[in-house]
């Protein structure tokens, strides 16, 4: 049985990752993996700590692997361990070795990097509305995408344009 193509949607806070993942899943009739951190942080009801990031990472991996079993052609992944790595380094100056090991082992067929050109949407779990911080994090994710060895594409514009860019790219890469 052929594995589904894993499409990672990566980017800073409030750049449309979840929206794009959901739109792609709907377009292709395939599952998408929500960001596990959101669910986890709502449950703990306190500021997160260094050790929470490992638990979030493990939950994200578990959800991704479980949903991969239900996918036929594609699995859309709303963030991965690269996000845990960036936040862990930014906030605590360190990343758990398990996270780094998993980043090396886990493979994606395409990374869609969401640009910072969408307006900031306030949310209690978001921390950095300033454009310079959003750009700082975008640059970090861009570097990780470049270093990954996986094909990647920066998606910009409004919701419709992002979906069209992503679907056109996927059709060229995987369907024709």
Positions in the chain short of pLDDT 50: 1
pLDDT value for 131: 74
pLDDT one-digit tens code per residue, 58-94: 999 999 999 999 999 999 999 999 999 999 999 999 9
Specify the CATH number for the domain of residue 142: 3.40.50.300
pTM of the predicted structure, to 2 decimals: 0.93
Radius of gyration of the chain (CA): 15
DSSP one-letter code for 3: P
Nearest to 67 by CA among 40, 93, 34: 34
Find the domain containing 43 and state its range. 5-175
Structure confidence at residue 176 (pLDDT): 62
User: What's the N-to-C CA distance of the chain in angstroms?
Assistant: 20
Those residues with Cβ within 8 angstroms of residue 95's Cβ, 6 or more apart along the chain or in another chain: 53, 84, 85, 88, 89
pLDDT computed for residue 148 by the predictor:
96
Count of domains for the chain? 1
């Amino acid at each position: 049985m052929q594995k589904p193509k894993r499409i990672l949607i990566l980017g800073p806070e409030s750049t449309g990752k979840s929206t794009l993942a959901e739109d792609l899943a709907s377009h292709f009739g395939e599952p998408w993996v929500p960001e596990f951190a959101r669910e986890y942080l709502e449950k703990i009801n306190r500021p997160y700590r260094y050790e929470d990031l490992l638990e979030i990472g493990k939950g994200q991996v578990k959800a991704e692997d479980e949903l991969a079993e239900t996918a036929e052609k594609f699995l859309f992944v709303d963030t991965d361990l690269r996000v845990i790595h960036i936040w862990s380094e930014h906030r605590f100056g360190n990343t758990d070795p398990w996270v780094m090991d998993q980043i090396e082992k886990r493979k994606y067929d395409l990374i869609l990097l969401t640009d910072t050109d969408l307006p900031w949407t306030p949310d209690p779990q978001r921390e950095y509305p300033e454009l310079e911080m959003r750009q700082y994090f975008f640059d970090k994710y861009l570097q990780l995408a470049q270093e990954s060895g996986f094909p990647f594409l920066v998606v910009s514009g409004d919701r419709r344009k992002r979906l069209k860019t992503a679907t056109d790219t996927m059709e060229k890469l995987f369907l024709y």
